[in-house]
Amino acid sequence: MGPQVAFIDANVIFSKTLRDWICLLRLETGGHLFVLHTSEEALTEAAYKLRKKMPDAPGDSIRSIIEHVRNAVDDIVVSFPSGASFPGADKDDRYIHAAAKASGADYLLTQDAGFAGIDPDLLPYEVITPDLFFALVAANNPAATDRVIRRQLKYFDSKPDVKGLSEALMDAKCEIFAESVKRHLERMAHGQSTAGLSQQVLKECSGQVGCN
């Protein structure tokens, strides 16, 4: 069985925390666990929202962010059939659905509540939050997760004015994964194995909203 196809929505690309984690997890797992797909329109939407958030940013800053994502993903859907049926209520989600379907996605990574309200039996892919997806990746490959944590720590250590790893994840609505990262950090600080930590967190958080 090959790697799972994870299609990332514009809201994942827009968030620095989510964007960094998904791209680094893809890099460190080597494409053996999952591959990343997105679409030109998702990239365009993310760029538009980034510019609205940072109207005074240098002209090449938004382009640099989008190019980073382009280089990190495995495929970008450029076109897809028109008129595809969509079981959701929000017509603005139709193009993401069509692109994810065209890409052969196993998962749609999104924080769009509109997708979460759709009957899963009506979709050809599983809708999953970045929080749960990250936690599942950590459960399946804790060593790769540790490598991403070390990469992230280098950035956070160089930016003393920014929030810590776990706090940034909490702010990005990744409560379960934030708890996993917290426990990974504790084990890593003592040179101990992180195997099984994320499975335990997922078990503890099963059926809960968040993990506190």
CA separation, residue 53 to residues 10, 15, 47, 101 (Å): 14, 11, 10, 29
4-128 CATH choice from 3.30.1360.120, 3.30.410.40, 3.40.50.1010, 3.30.565.10 = 3.40.50.1010
Bridge partner residues of 39 (DSSP): 77
- Classify burial at 1, counting beta carbons within 10 Å of its beta carbon; exposed 0-12, middle 13-18, buried 19 or more: exposed
The pLDDT-based confidence of 106 (bands split at 50, 70, 90) is: very high
- pLDDT tens digits along 45-60: 999 999 999 999 998 9
User: What is the Cα–Cα distance from 10 to 15, expressed in whole angstroms?
Assistant: 9
Q: Quick one: pLDDT at residue 183? A: 97
Residues of the chain with CATH 3.40.50.1010: 4-128
- Mean pLDDT on 68-93: 89
